[in-house]
Structure 1
Amino acid sequence: MITESTPRCPFHEPERKTGFGSDHEPGVELQGDVWHLRSYAAVKQVLRDSGRVRQGATTDNFLVTRLRPAVIFQDGEEHREQRTAIARFFTPKTVQDKHHAFIDHLTERLIVRLLRAGQADLSDLSMELSVEVAARVVGLTDSLQPGMDRRIDELLSGGGVNSETGAGTLARLQSAMTQSKGLLQMSSFYRIDVRPAIQARRKKPQEDVISHLLGRGYNDLEILVECLTYATAGMVTTREFIGVAAWHLLENDEVRGQYLAGDRTERHRILHEILRLEPVASTLWRKASEDVTIEHGDAAHHIPAGARMILDIRTANADASVVGDDPLTLCPHRALPIGVQAQALSFGDGAHRCPGAFLAIHERDVFLHRLLGLLLRTVGTPELTFNEMLMSYEIRDFIVEVHE
């Protein structure tokens, strides 16, 4: 409930930085043989219907289909067991006790580098941050040489992959197996980063994802796929969100003031609202394993078994019937209905909701709070593009400069 003491929404004009073409209206629509779900209720229903809806990943590559699917592409009992087993790596207590000091130290190291140089590309700083934090959780800590952030960036930034597979990581692996450049990048990441970590944990298991996977009998190639999955779901998304959040906060003095003056709860509220407005993963693919009925307004849409669905997170997050008036403005104190989270569906929902949501917002907050405490200005305008393979925006050449 909004009271007289609640800070007012500081903006009254659309504030999205990441628009690509026209935004859609919430609804349900059949285009060709693919169903497009764009309302909050429809998207949430499908995300929670793990009994009749499956992940949309497909691939025809022989090697990939012989592997155990990565956790984000699993369903049913196998997925529930895996999620339960890895949940311990992402709890608020684990983040605070095991990772907070590391994140704080890493942030300070990056800030010192910025201060000494006088300026830096924020997309580079945020990539280094996100890779090192995620690598610590996954267990990629025994690389033969530095530069894992660059290797992952090169591996995931390539184009030419059909986004309709809905499986960027597996599609990238499939592509790498048939393209010399992709194979070289994949082999380099495996040889320099993944294999040394596996070898170290075979000798001495630790409390991390790779050790857990080895305990479940995963082979090296299956672990490589899992590492790429975490790179996509954790490292890349954190990098892009830090960029878009800094963009908002640097351009708007009022909301930056609220953020810097607020406690952790208030800061997280502001970051969640930015994430609602600018979801990094804009599209998810699903496939109906049984008939599904979606109701929207006065209409009932019957989706047959075998049909593919595109879940438009970006439009669902701006569904005025749920998030209230002016859904494209930045308003951290929205009066949301019970059950609707501040970031809406940006972390997903249901069985496949992002397990690292708390870690993600925590590391972003630690870094942004320290960064925005400096006197900064942007040099030029960041370059904004859209990665068709990952179905997410990318922010590059975001040069920030320290000034007196």
Structure 2
Amino acid sequence: MTTEQSGCPMHGSAPGSDRKASKPGETATGRVTQRNKMWHIGSLAAAKEVLLARHSTLQAGFTAEYIPRNVFRNHPILISDGPQHDQQRRNVARFFAPKVVASRYGTLMEAVVDKILDQAQRTGSITFDQVALYYTVEVTASIVGLTHARVPALARRLEKFFRQPPLDRSKPQLGRTKRQWMSAAHNGIGPVLGLLIFDVLPAVCSRTKAPRQDVISHLIEQDYNLADILVECVTYGTAGMVTTREFITMACWHLLDNPALRQRYVAAEEAERLSILAELIRLEPPVGHLYRRVTENFDVTDRDDTYTLATGELVDLDIRKTNADADAFAHDPLRVCPDRERSEGVQDVGLSFGFGAHGCPGQPLALRETDALLHRLLALPVARESEPTISWDDLIEGYKIRGLTLSVGS
């Protein structure tokens, strides 16, 4: 049954877009285009080829090219490539496998949700994006091992770290002036030092004496030094707390504004709920662009055309565009339709979690964490009180949603 035949009941055949996060001034790129030394790819098939060309490219997103590699005994998983990256992924996979997420972290997520709902029903109103931040910080901190500081303090440090000057990856030095680089260092050093002193050092001391089933204990076992562990904690903080917080807020917003989808979601079994969330994250990827630096020439193909990407060129994978590629997601790919048909080999989440060796291992955790909160929250008499605002973060190329206030009944 195709999407067209099923009629995507929520919309019928009405064209349009359900996407809430539309970046002002963002130019629509073609499927595969080049400007100067930078390729822009909006074709999902071509983007997958780039991500699979792992011996011909290196990580170039998240300012990875400006992180000094000689500081680390073990390159952070964010910027490593090749056999080292593969080994790192195998080592951490046991923390994020679907069965592990359900069995080991299910009780943790349930306990945190209990606290959130108790408070929400007592006060009758919550600012949901702030609640989502504390929720993701508490869950991820427990998995990583950052359990010594209070959750609000850890959340503040992570938020401060991302208050960075704008950047432009198409320009030398990311388009920043010396003054802006100084500002970036100033804004980043304080939170990172706080993370080191109040979170990482106590965790390392504790886990060295008594290892636990968490990421920091694993890193100590793998002989990571303090700098290695600190950067990995920043990485997991970014992926597990910051971007997941934004998606949870976005998914809640969508479900509140779509009563039919909300009703279906609340009544559904877990597998169907996760498919609805997968469709929402496909439409609204929290990280909108991924970047790779070409290290040796290779070809990518889109439809009947072949393009040669040359050594030294930068490749911008436009995830917001690949996830709306009509070749991959037929029939109004900018509409929400969990039942849509996809092309062969296309994941329901699109490229929201990357792909291949560089796919995010935390995908099962992010979706189940979102479901653990939203399924119980939206079963209550909850309504949106305010229209949230959207801004954009240049560092992670993602949206920021603030001011989603909800009224919560008993």
TM-score of the pair, normalised by structure 2: 0.91
Choose which of 336, 339, 342 in structure 2 pairs with 1:333: 339
Is the contact made by 1:2 and 1:335 (CA closer than 8 Å) also made in structure 2? yes
1:346 alignment partner AA:
S
2:303 alignment partner AA:
G
Partner of 1:252: 258
Partner of 1:147: 153
Does 2:40 match 1:36?
Answer: yes
Partner of 2:59: 55
Aligned counterparts of 2:267 and 2:370: Cα–Cα separation in 1: 16
Aligned counterparts of 1:3 and 1:354: Cα–Cα separation in 2: 28
Q: CA deviation at 1:177?
A: 9.7
Pairs within 5 Å for 1:71-82: 71-82=77-88
Does 2:292 match 1:289?
Answer: no
1:213-240 Cα deviation digits (max 9, x unpaired) = 1122211122111000001111111100
Choose which of 277, 297, 313 in structure 1 pairs with 2:319: 313
Q: Tell me: CA distance 1:189–1:318, structure 2 relative to 1, closer, same or farther (3 Å).
A: same
Choose which of 164, 167, 176 in structure 1 pairs with 2:169: 164
Q: Identity, % of aligned pairs?
A: 35
Aligned counterparts of 1:380 and 1:305: Cα–Cα separation in 2: 49
1:272 alignment partner AA:
A
Is the contact made by 2:327 and 2:343 (CA closer than 8 Å) also made in structure 1? no
How many pairs are equivalent?
397
Partner of 1:213: 219
Partner of 2:377: 371
Does 2:10 match 1:10?
Answer: yes
Q: CA deviation at 1:243?
A: 0.9
SS in structure 1 opposite 2:327? helix
1:240-295 Cα deviation digits (max 9, x unpaired) = 00111111100111111111111111111111001110000000110111111122
Partner of 1:66: 71
TM-score of the pair, normalised by structure 1: 0.92
SS in structure 2 opposite 1:51? coil
Partner of 1:46: 50
Aligned counterparts of 1:277 and 1:146: Cα–Cα separation in 2: 30
Q: RMSD value over aligned CA atoms? A: 2.5
Aligned counterparts of 1:2 and 1:204: Cα–Cα separation in 2: 54
1:160 alignment partner AA:
P
Partner of 2:274: 268
Structure 1: stretches of 5+ with no match in the other structure: 169-173
Does 2:400 match 1:394?
Answer: yes
Is the contact made by 2:76 and 2:228 (CA closer than 8 Å) also made in structure 1? yes
Aligned counterparts of 1:136 and 1:188: Cα–Cα separation in 2: 18
Aligned counterparts of 2:223 and 2:80: Cα–Cα separation in 1: 16
1:159 alignment partner AA:
Q
Aligned counterparts of 1:262 and 1:144: Cα–Cα separation in 2: 35
Is the contact made by 2:121 and 2:409 (CA closer than 8 Å) also made in structure 1? no
1:31-61 Cα deviation digits (max 9, x unpaired) = 1111111111111111112121221154456
1:118-163 Cα deviation digits (max 9, x unpaired) = 111111111111111111111111227852112212222x121535
Is the contact made by 2:164 and 2:184 (CA closer than 8 Å) also made in structure 1? no
Partner of 2:193: 187
